[in-house]
Amino acid sequence: MKKNQIIKKSILFAVCILLAFMFVFPIIILLLNSFKSLKEIYMSVLSLPDALNFDNYKQAFSELDYFRSIRNSLTVTITVTAANVLCCSMAAWVLVRYKTRTSTIIFTAFSVAILVPFQCVMLPLLSLMGKLHLISMPGLMLVNLGFGSSMSIILFHGFIKNVPAELEEAAAIDGAGQIRVFFTIVMPLIRGISATVAILCVMSLWNDYLLPSLTINKKGLQTLPLKTFLFFGAYTKKWNLGSAALVMAIVPVVIFYVCCQKYIVKGVTEGAVKG
């Protein structure tokens, strides 16, 4: 019996390793080829590079305008995430605590909207943004807040529903106004779900491509996915540069993952299960 167990565990372990290899295989291939010259790639995409040659990285670094693209991506991601967590928790709180028909209707509207695909509103949205002179980075941020609010409000709403109102009422009896009640009593209570919402926001905003590609047309303001896309437009088939660029574009994500892994796993699970 015991021997059987050991054999079973070893087989499972081997399967895990094999699968892990399949999951990291693309990254390994990119790493390998990012150190090669174009000639070496033509010879073989599977061989080890002749030497650790960083020329590709140097060129990709300047072509991607790496630090500026990252800064632009960070600006959009952080601003919208912060605004989203703050505004959506406020909105969800009043939607839970005010039990009126208006609040039910508004909450239903937010919930139904998660089904709307972007392509369905893309054209009228662009024309509306054009009319309001919002084809710009601030415009992009405003619209992203609107798109993100559905999911975030659903998550906050689901959580706040189960927070008893007694604490808030006690504070109100002590003379605190509603706004103070929210910031001093409610905000600390919903820290956990706020982290979840923030993680989900960061993940979707950081990788967003289509909306930024339609709204950011100034050079120097492009986010990392945009810049990567343009880079490949200019260097099709030069996979030595391409793989270096991809490795560099993936690095921030890996750093983020290593730093906040616990929150990410928790956030993604909660976001899926409760949303």
Which positions from 157 through 186 interact with another protein, judged by CB under 8 A?
Answer: 165, 168-169, 172, 178-179, 181-182
Q: Judged by CB under 8 A, how many residues of this single chain contact another protein?
A: 92
269 lines the binding site for another protein (CB under 8 A)? yes
Which residue's CB is nearer to another protein, number 124 or number 188? Answer: 124
Distance (Å, whole) CA 66 – CA 208: 17
- Least distance between another protein and beta carbon 131 (Å): 9
Question: Which of 234, 247, 249, 244 minimizes the C-alpha distance to 41?
Answer: 244
Which residue's CB is nearer to another protein, number 145 or number 221? Answer: 145
142 lines the binding site for another protein (CB under 8 A)? yes
The two tokens of residue 47 are 């061989």
- Least distance between another protein and beta carbon 62 (Å): 19
Which residue's CB is nearer to another protein, number 12 or number 51? Answer: 12
Residues 61 to 120 in contact with another protein, rule: CB under 8 A: 83, 87-88, 90-91, 93-95, 97-98, 103, 106, 109-110, 113, 115-120
Binding range to another protein, per CB under 8 A, among 52-60, 61-69, 187-195, 207-215:
207-215
225 lines the binding site for another protein (CB under 8 A)? yes
Which residue's CB is nearer to another protein, number 53 or number 230? Answer: 230
Q: Do 80 and 141 touch, CB atoms closer than 8 A?
A: yes
- Least distance between another protein and beta carbon 201 (Å): 13
- Least distance between another protein and beta carbon 28 (Å): 10
* Residue 133, Ramachandran bin (φ over 0: left; ψ between -120 and 50: alpha; else beta): left
Which of 203, 216, 221, 241 touches another protein by CB under 8 A? 203
265 lines the binding site for another protein (CB under 8 A)? yes
Binding range to another protein, per CB under 8 A, among 49-57, 59-67, 190-198, 241-249:
241-249
Binding range to another protein, per CB under 8 A, among 28-36, 49-57, 59-67, 187-195:
28-36
Give the distance from CA 264 to its chain's centroid: 10
195 lines the binding site for another protein (CB under 8 A)? no
